Amino acid sequence: MAPRGEPPHKAALRLALDVANGRHALSKFIPIALWLADAVLCSLIIWKVPYTEIDWVAYMEQVAQFVSGERDYTKIKGGTGPLVYPAAHVYVYTGLYNLTDSGKNVLLAQQLFAVLYMAALALVPPYIFPLLILSKRLHSVFVLRCFNDCYAAFFMWLTIYFFQRRQWTVGSIAYSFGLGIKMSLLLSLPAVGMVLFLGRGLGGSLRLAWLMAQVQLVIALPFLAKNWQGYLSRAFELSRQFKFEWTVNWRMMGEELFLSKQFALVLLVLHALTLLIFVTSRWLQPAGRSVVSLIPPMLRGQSPFTPAEELRVSSRVTPGYVMTTILSANVIGLLFARSLHYQFYAYLAWASPYLLWRAWPNMPVVYLLWAVQEAAWNTFPSTNFSSTAVVNVLLITVVLIYFGTSKPVKSGERKKAKASKKKT
């Protein structure tokens, strides 16, 4: 409450600060207001900024062959080359193909992607909300480029949304379908497996893993029946050679080292080691057990937990744990990725503000790192300096989240924590 006799301008400033810092009844309307402001911004971008053609025409050319009856993946090609995405990508863009007059109505496509952007933003918890709507590159990826990463990122956030609400089956289906759009979601697979294992137990997680495999089988069935080897080699090609000219992250290494097998192997080993460190010392914390004690019974096909332990462990799989674990795995994967392209920012832009604040709730630090990241991803073409910035911000994020999650608050301890805060 403002002191008596306080000048109007100071009272207005006090009110603004109270609202901005969550100390006023109006504070709860800030995310809604900013979400609506972003909707207006998307409309202005579509209206004022020229559309940039990169992959849309190629997507439509490939879909046209599918619509015409082609089911052999090795024969489906477009202006940018062969079809290299899983089957769900084909179905999503077939829908867009039909809605946009065979891809000719690009304006309508942009509007549909703006709706997708707003739907994805609605799924993202309003953590440091201003940073969630200020990204120039993210708006570009969605409404000016119409990349399939936008749909994959949407299903990643949809997976987190359902897992946070303990809707494990629906979340697993959402994740598998997103993976069926683009295999970039494989980066989050270790964390998804860990969340399901702790949240549903060994038996439940194995059943959900089988369900996800069935989803992949069903969506790919028309292509598998025609040429299963061709589908698997194209849709999930892990040995693809990336072009140095498009890389965002490792340009400073030089083209010769970037293309070398030794560099790829080093990144793979570092990725695996970092995941192992997070699994054993961070992601298994809700279990209250070491990984060494869990492995023997699992190798015998038995659950490492008693029914009572499963319930206790599952109760510790909180919404914060789900979001932190999945987004951490995603950022670790991006850090050690052989090559990042600009559209990969769809998986990072909304994740970084949360992870940074979760690890180190210091506003100047979070905003500074976000600004460096945003500037680096908006540098086109990438330079040695910008790629160094991209890699270092990812590295700092991973290090901060590791040290910042050393002592998670378990369920049952939350009320104690809140009570202690009230006493102090």
229-285 tens-digit pLDDT: 999 988 887 766 677 888 999 999 999 999 999 999 999 999 999 999 999 999 999
Which pLDDT value is given to residue 90? Answer: 97
Cα–Cα dist 83/362, whole Å:
44
Instruction: Give the residue carrying structure tokens 């008693």.
Output: 306
What phi and psi values does residue 373 have, to the nearest 5 degrees? -60, -45
The structure's pTM equals 0.91
Among candidate residues 368, 359, 350, the one with its CA nearest the CA of residue 399:
359
Res. 18: pLDDT tops 60 = no
Cα–Cα dist 286/401, whole Å:
17
Q: DSSP for 354-382?
A: HHHHHH---HHHHHHHHHHHHHHHT-SS-
Residue 35 burial by Cβ neighbours in a 10 Å radius (0-12, 13-18, 19+): middle
Q: What percent of the chain has pLDDT over 70?
A: 89
**158 with 174: CB under 8 angstroms?**
yes
Q: How confident is the model at residue 6 (pLDDT cuts 50, 70, 90)?
A: low
Residue 131, token pair as written in the block: 């940073």
Cα–Cα dist 41/138, whole Å:
12
Average pLDDT over residues 170-179: 98
Which pLDDT value is given to residue 20? Answer: 58
301-340 tens-digit pLDDT: 889 998 999 999 999 999 999 999 999 999 999 999 999 9
Instruction: Give the residue carrying structure tokens 């992601």.
Output: 283
Which pLDDT value is given to residue 263? Answer: 93
For residue 324, which amino acid is it? T
Res. 287: pLDDT tops 70 = yes
Residue 191 burial by Cβ neighbours in a 10 Å radius (0-12, 13-18, 19+): buried
For residue 113, which amino acid is it? F
For residue 303, which amino acid is it? S
Residue 70, token pair as written in the block: 């082609």
Average pLDDT over all residues of the chain: 90
Q: How far is CA 314 from CA 2, 196, 263, 358, in A?
A: 46, 9, 39, 21
Res. 70: pLDDT tops 70 = yes
Residue 59, token pair as written in the block: 């997507």
Give, for 211, the enclosing helix (H) or strand (E).
Answer: helix 189-235
Angle at CA 353, nearest 5°, toward 188 and 323? 40
Residue 374: partners with Cβ closer than 8 Å, 6 or more residues away: 134, 135, 136, 137
Res. 363: pLDDT tops 50 = yes
